[in-house]
Amino acid sequence: FQQANETGKELPKALNQVLIGIADSNYALIYFNFGTNGRVSDGGVLEYTDFYDKLQNECLKIPESSDVKGRKLPYVFVGDEAFSLRKDFLKPYNVEQLTRERKIFNYRLSHARRIIENVFSILVARFGTFKTHINIQLDNFKAVVMARCALHKFLRRISPDMYTPSECLDIEDLENGTVTASL
């Protein structure tokens, strides 16, 4: 977006701010933060959030491990290579270290990461502000972004089929192992 100065005139260059989010399996944002400088990596952005502080201090209400097919599995967050490796974060293996099993792991992990990618695609599709330059004060733009994220969460909860019909989401054909990308 283009930040306006106090006189309302556009400043010479666009500012790049990062929106970071955590989504559940229903494409609802359960946490979002906006405003870190775009030059900071995704992993670095996370470390500047109150969420990360609570995670570090074990103040989040994360459920205990669940029994899945006779194995205790912890709840984890899924990220990409930019995030630090932690016991509660899954990220792909480095391409230089790939065995067959690790390639399969990375493939399956990428399917889980598609959820948040779909969420951001939905935000762009539903709210044009995310794909155009606008002339607005930074604080006002932050309020717009946060309101739209909250509205997305609300609409996914009360009217998911109207707000995001199936063609808005990636569709996975488990039988054929294919993914049809959203519109």
C-alpha 47/C-alpha 160 separation (Å) is 31
pLDDT at 182: 64
Which segment of 28-37, 130-139, 160-169 scores lowest on mean pLDDT? 130-139
Which has the higher per-residue pLDDT, 122 or 171?
122
Q: Are 19 and 149 in contact (CB under 8 A)?
A: yes
In this prediction, residue 7 has a pLDDT band, given cuts at 50, 70 and 90, of very low
Instruction: Say what the pLDDT of residue 183 is.
Output: 58
Q: Helix or strand or coil: residue 148?
A: helix
Strand partners, 46: none
Q: What pLDDT score was predicted for residue 14?
A: 59
Has residue 177 got a pLDDT over 80? no
pLDDT of 145 over the 70 cut: yes
Mean pLDDT of the chain: 83
The mean pLDDT of 138-151, rounded to a whole number, is: 90
Q: What would the DSSP string read from start to end of 38-107?
A: TTS-HHHHHHTSHHHHHHHTT-S-PPPPEEETTEEE---EE--TTSPP-TTEE-PPPGGG--HHHHHHHH
pLDDT at 164: 87
Q: What are phi and psi of 77, to 5 degrees?
A: -105, 145
**pLDDT tens profile 85-138:** 888 999 999 888 899 999 999 988 988 898 998 999 899 888 877 777 777 888
Predicted structure pTM score: 0.78
Q: How confident is the model at residue 13 (pLDDT cuts 50, 70, 90)?
A: low
